[in-house]
Amino acid sequence: MSKKRTFLKLKKKLLLRQRDLLNELEEKHQETSQWLKDHKKDLSSLSRDFAETAATSAATGILLLASGSIPLKPATLETDNPIVVSQTTSTSQVSSSEDVSEVLAEKLEKQVPGKVRDLNEQEKADLEKIISETTGVAVKSNLEGYQLNTNYGYIGGEQHLYRFAGDNLIRHVKNAREWLMFGRSGIAPNRGAWGYFPNEDFERYYVAVQTFLSPNWRSNPKATYDWFRFRKVMVINPKSGQAVVTVVGDAGPADWTGKHYGGSPEVMHYLGLGIGPRKGAVLMFFVDDKEGRIPLGPVSDKFFQGSEPL
Amino acid sequence: MSKLTYAQFVDPEVILLKLRGLEIKEEEFPEILNLVDEIFRIRLLSLILSELEEGDKIHFLKLVDLDSGVEVVDFVKTKVVNIEDKIQIIVQEVHNQVLEDISDLEF
């Protein structure tokens, strides 16, 4: 059977099922159908509204959908290629990052171009120095010969990504507050470019970068793909100075979107870009962290104050 | 791709794997997944309406229409016994049914 025919056959089957269900619903619940008709409402949008309410309620614990047919979260996260992470501290416990942000914003204001564009080598070097000295984390635009396609570009909000087989959105939030901040972005129907995540923090603080536009890609796509996998990068909102240490967890966005990077709902929140258009200009540099000492999450002075760049 | 309510409850990766097995083009996946989502939503609404008494159905519709999330769920939880279990059954049924539909096309 040709690809097109298979697709059409499946589509037809699902459309028939959908139509039968709608007919059945209308026949069985005539009082309801009449009310919808009288109020000029359609069944499709009403069902969508209710399904979203159910999903929200499940996430916030109002509906307890933690058992039964939905597979339970495995004790250890399953991944295609497990990697060892020497990460002992979660920065989500850190409450304040105001001081370092303020200092960083002040220093970056004079250095970062007003309009988003490629940075020249001198600008990159100057920014590396400022960011490394202010945050205490050594950052580089060129690490082990690899580079991003740009270090200054637009980031857009992404959805959550599946972390393991059987994962679902509800498992990504702990309470109603987190749902409001991070749950509403939803979860993407596909896995990230490197498959499932080796731990929860990697998905929580992931970014998407255009690996396919990296200068290294053309000469060796396979090695570049492998090198970028869960590579640590720091993202900085130059206007506010808010900075987050993240990992590269997905490839994208597409070139035509006009955006250069994507950020998880948590990353966008900690960059101060979690509301409104969920888009903004950011700086992005590799974190030089051979020993795996730099924790993921928002950069806080409590971790890095007064220390030499790690 | 638009947000899938269905995918908030269960990983659609199994369905995607099956679709890849059929060699359906990747760009056609969203259309299929959106239809699955639509089926799931109708089944969910149908379930609630079937469980409610006649007089309660209109009240439920009004609450959904008003977008009063917590009130909707409170109302449903009060009126429908074991609502959580029933939703899980619907999720699984839709999931299995779609997998069957795809399997039928494999032969």
pLDDT tens-digit profile of B36-65? 989 999 999 999 999 998 889 999 999 888
Predicted local distance difference test score (pLDDT) of residue A301? 57
pLDDT in tens, A7-49: 898 999 999 999 999 889 888 888 888 888 888 888 888 888 8
Distance CA A2, CA B81 (A): 47
pLDDT at B26: 80
> What pLDDT digit, counting tens, does each position of A76-133 carry?
333 333 322 233 333 333 334 447 899 999 999 999 999 999 999 999 999 999 999 9
pLDDT of residue B88: 82
At A66, list the tokens.
């933690």
Mean pLDDT of A64-79: 38
What's the confidence (pLDDT) of residue A304?
53
Give me the residue from A24, A43, A168 closest to B9, CB to CB: A168
The dihedral over CA atoms of A182, A185, A186, A189, expressed in degrees to the nearest 10, equals -120
CA distance A65 to chain B (A): 6
B41 chain-A contacts, CB cut-off 8 A? 44, 47-48, 50-51
CA distance A289 to A310: 7
What would the pLDDT profile of A130-167 be if each residue is shown by its tens digit? Answer: 999 999 999 999 999 999 999 999 999 999 999 988 78
> Tell me, what's the pLDDT at A204?
95
DSSP A263: E
Which among B11, B88, B104 has the least Cβ separation from residue A162? B11
Confidence label for A62 from pLDDT (cuts 50, 70 and 90): low
The residue type found at A218 is R
By C-alpha distance, which of A201, A8, A192 is closest to B35?
A: A8
Q: A218: buried, middle or exposed (CB in 10 Å: 19+, 13-18, 0-12)?
A: exposed
**Residue in A59, A63, A162 nearest the CB of B13:** A162
Q: What percent of chain B has pLDDT over 70?
A: 96
Q: Is the pTM of this model over 0.80?
A: no
Average pLDDT over residues A275-280: 88
Q: Does A21 touch chain B (CB under 8 A)?
A: yes
pLDDT of A61 over the 80 cut? no
Q: Does A77 lie at the interface with B, CB-CB under 8 angstroms?
A: no
Q: Which of residues 101-160 of A touch B (CB under 8 A)?
A: 159
Residue A176 at interface with chain B, using a CB cutoff of 8 Å: no
